[in-house]
Amino acid sequence: MRVKDIINSIEEFAPVVYQESYDNSGLQIGDPLEEVKGVLLTLDLTEDIIREAISRKCNLIIAHHPLLFSGLKRISNDTYTERIVKETIRNNINIYAAHTNMDNMKNGVNAKIAEKLGLIDLSILAKAAGTLFKLYTYAPLEAADNVLQAMFAAGAGEIGKYKECSFNTNGVGSFKPGSNANPAIGKAGGEREQVVEAKIEVLVQKHNKKQVLRALFESHPYEEVAYELVALENANQDIGAGIVGNLPNPLSEKEFLTLLQKQMKLDCIRHTALTGKKVNKIAICGGAGSFLLKDAISAGADFFVTADFKYHQFFDADGKIVIADIGHYESEQFTIELFQEILNKKFPNFAILLSSLSTNPVKYFC
């Protein structure tokens, strides 16, 4: 098994095209063709994590937070980042990060938090736009089903819980082959041809555009394939920021805070004033989630569980919701379990190791 095999299994779950523009997910250091001896999963890259990987004979580290967000101008011993880069290269360790692409999956980081809290009826809090395309193409009737099946196999036509969705209409297409053409119907330099064709319409997701188009071109009988690929503003039901769900049974605010503290293994919780209402709907965003506060309120959430709220941002709750800031590390600590679940399904007989170290840079005096 090679590094690229591990990467492919993660990116099948969370394609890198869904990371945020500021992010730098992917293979950061290493060789995708190198044989994997052991895999260590961690939230962050630290010098202690590198030492742990060496001691546990792991030459691939998978982290949630990237080590490198921008280019390094030098590699010395001045910063922890530079020292880590030196040590990974010296010890032939590969570094891979899956960050906001994991955050933006419906079954990703936020779903893992929701699972810990026992939430049901989950949906994306802020659904992503600009990730869907409509593909229109035209094929002779006798070839239309073959073309359609090829595109379905490449991932076209998936809408929420449904697959192989399309809309087809029949009509008459016309074309005149040029003198140097190699037409499937008619003769080069011949007369204008008219053919009964099916117009095929399918939805295509951003991450499989190339595969679907390749399938279209390879399965289509025409030398020149007529198609249109149009970007849509439709919200994607399965991609986006945050998640919202319901408790199986309503709780008081203090009961929910107790549940939250226990399930997320928290020393303390920073929160806004309690409202005295029963708690049913919970909004979640692992990591820094203040940008989703308005979405959480609009969704009718009673609590917003997230991290990294600044002092003045707490005022924005305005009695409409309770903000529970549980800490950045604390909110994402179970992401390594998600990595492990993904990899164990694909490689059940290969040891995928969880780091035994806490990489939380924030300490509490209680």
Counted residue by residue, the chain has a size of 366
Residue 366 has pLDDT above 80, yes or no: no
Q: Which fold has domain 3-99+334-354?
A: 3.40.1390
Residue 67 has pLDDT above 80, yes or no: yes
Tell me the pLDDT of the chain averaged across its residues: 96
Residue 317 has pLDDT above 90, yes or no: yes
Q: What are phi and psi of 312, to 5 degrees?
A: -70, -20
Residue 200: per-residue pLDDT: 98
Q: How confident is the model at residue 184 (pLDDT cuts 50, 70, 90)?
A: confident
Strand partners, 232: 132
By DSSP bridging, strand 60-63 and strand 39-42 are: parallel
By DSSP bridging, strand 352-354 and strand 303-307 are: unpaired
- Mean local confidence (pLDDT), 277-295: 98
pLDDT tens readout for residues 33-65: 999 999 999 999 999 999 999 999 999 999 999
Q: How confident is the model at residue 193 (pLDDT cuts 50, 70, 90)?
A: confident
CATH architecture of 132-232: 2-Layer Sandwich (3.30)
d(CA 138, CA 197): 6
Task: Please give the structure tokens belonging to residue 348.
Answer: 């059940």
Residues 64/332, Cβ–Cβ less than 8 Å = yes
| In the chain, where the domains are located | 3-99+334-354, 109-127+240-326, 132-232
Residues 272/253, Cβ–Cβ less than 8 Å = no
Pick the CATH number of 109-127+240-326 from 3.40.1390.30, 3.40.50.261, 3.40.30.10, 1.10.3430.10: 3.40.1390.30
pLDDT tens readout for residues 122-144: 999 999 999 999 999 999 999 99
Do the domains spanning 3-99+334-354 and 132-232 agree at the CATH topology level?
A: no
Q: How confident is the model at residue 188 (pLDDT cuts 50, 70, 90)?
A: confident
Residue 201 DSSP SS3: strand
Where is pLDDT greater, at 351 or 203?
203
Q: How confident is the model at residue 210 (pLDDT cuts 50, 70, 90)?
A: very high
Cβ neighbours of residue 10 under 8 Å, at least 6 residues apart?
Answer: 62, 96, 98, 339, 342, 343
Residue 299: per-residue pLDDT: 98
Q: What percent of the chain has pLDDT over 90?
A: 90
Helix axes of 47-55 and 80-90: crossing angle, nearest 10 degrees = 20
Q: How confident is the model at residue 204 (pLDDT cuts 50, 70, 90)?
A: very high
- Mean local confidence (pLDDT), 305-319: 98
Cβ neighbours of residue 220 under 8 Å, at least 6 residues apart?
Answer: 137, 139, 143, 147
Q: How confident is the model at residue 73 (pLDDT cuts 50, 70, 90)?
A: confident
pTM over 0.75: yes
Residue 183: per-residue pLDDT: 85
